[in-house]
Amino acid sequence: MRAMPVADYPTYCRMLDNARKHKFAYPAINITSPSTINAALAAFAAAKSDGIIQVSTGAGSFASGLEVNDMVLGAITLAEYVHRVADRYPIYVALHTDHCQPKKVDSFLRPLIAETARRRAAGLPNLFNSHMFDGSELPLAQNLVISQELLSECAAHQIILEVETGVVGGEEDGVNNEDAPAEKLYTTPEDMVEVARSLKDIAGARYMLAATFGNVHGVYKPGNVKLQPKILRDGQAAVAKAFGDAAQPDLVFHGGSGSTLAEIRETLDYGVVKMNIDTDTQYAFTRPIADHILCNYNSVLKIDGEVGSKKFYDPRVYLKKAEAAMKLRIVRACEDLRSTGTTLMTGSAS
């Protein structure tokens, strides 16, 4: 019987272990709609790469519709769509939720954990494979108290938890850290040791750490973002010294737009196994839509009493172009992160 393309817990763990061992990372693609989901799945299949598809609180609200505006309902709907269509693609994907701030834990994260618990009780697979708690706005001690609680809850249902220390600068999905103090943009080795000390012994648990090293959400030209990837190297060394190599966490790279390829690949040597990609894929999706509208202005719009042309204003026409362009950008991300050709799906690897 063919394996299910939405990874179960053992498969997801194998994915992360494989990335860590071979020094590559999975593109984690933020999605908002069936079209963006289709682009991600098609790209992973084209690259013969497994991957991660993730939903933010804002994407969940958007997907539920302007009138309903329910981030949990939207997230469930998007995840169920992935479960339905992923079976047509010869790769594994893991489903993840992106930044959940402390004030949304009870209104977003815990309802989704409860939905997975309900599904498991009915003999169904997990809805989401991992969740992110972004407690970076809190003092580290308070951040870790909540992280411990959530990691225990996740572990009970074979869900991986992603946590964050430090602050990713810039603005994304309604969360604005543009005025964050400079020191908050850089996680210290001591911070990473405290994370490991707090989370490493929770029974049956696995976590990922989004440690910050100058990364910034948003759009920046290469060279404008002052990354210090060696922060990750030094943090991992400090964790290994304190607790042994096995305690070193799997790392996540947020805010990669504007980073050079050399900087991105350097982080892979230090344990980054997941890189969030949103800004670049948003642009890739929107660019052909703008081109279609501007180049076919008289056909898309009913100007001077004319009727326009349905062949041009049918949303499917330009959304197909958007999906194809986003797919190409994700294929490039797989190449940049060295995940091309690494799928664990039997018979798919090159």
Task: Indicate which residue of 50, 98, 250, 336 is catalytic.
Answer: 98
Nearest to 109 by CA among 100, 118, 120: 100
> What pLDDT is attached to residue 256?
74
User: Could you give the domains of the chain?
Assistant: 9-287 (3.20.20.70)
Dist CA 61 CA 135 (whole Å): 21
Cα separation values, 261 from 209, 212, 258, Å: 21, 18, 9
CA dihedral 94, 97, 99, 105 (to 10 degrees): -140
Chain centroid, CA 223 distance in Å: 24
Q: What are phi and psi of 129, to 5 degrees?
A: -90, -25
pLDDT greater than 90 at residue 168:
no
186 pLDDT tier (thresholds 50, 70, 90): confident
Do the beta carbons of residue 119 and residue 125 sit within 8 Å?
Answer: yes
Q: Model's pTM, two decimal places?
A: 0.92
What is the rounded distance in angstroms from the CA atom of residue 297 to the CA atom of residue 302? 9
Nearest to 13 by CA among 50, 60, 39: 50
The pLDDT tens digits of the residues spanning 30-41 come to: 999 999 999 999
Question: Please, which residues have CB within 8 angstroms of residue 181's CB and are 6 or more apart in sequence?
Answer: none
- Note the pLDDT tens digit of each residue in 74-109: 999 999 999 999 999 999 999 999 999 999 999 999
Span 53-63, pLDDT tens digits: 999 999 999 99
Residue 214, sorted as left (phi over 0), alpha (psi -120 to 50) or beta, turns out to be left
| Residue-level pLDDT at 350 | 39
Q: Calculate mean pLDDT across residues 256-278.
A: 91
Answer for the pair 20, 346: CB distance below 8 angstroms, yes or no: no
Structure tokens at 326: 């986003």
Distances (CA, A) of 178 to 58, 102, 184, 210: 19, 19, 11, 18
Amino acid at 111: P
Q: Are 239 and 255 in contact (CB under 8 A)?
A: no
Residue 184 makes CB contacts below 8 A (sequence gap 6+) with: 136, 166, 167, 212
CB 24 within 8 A of CB 337: yes
Flag the least confident range among 11-25, 114-128, 201-215, 217-231.
Answer: 217-231
- Residue 4: band (very low, low, confident or very high) from pLDDT cuts 50, 70, 90: confident
At residue 273, the pLDDT reads 98
**98 in active site:** yes
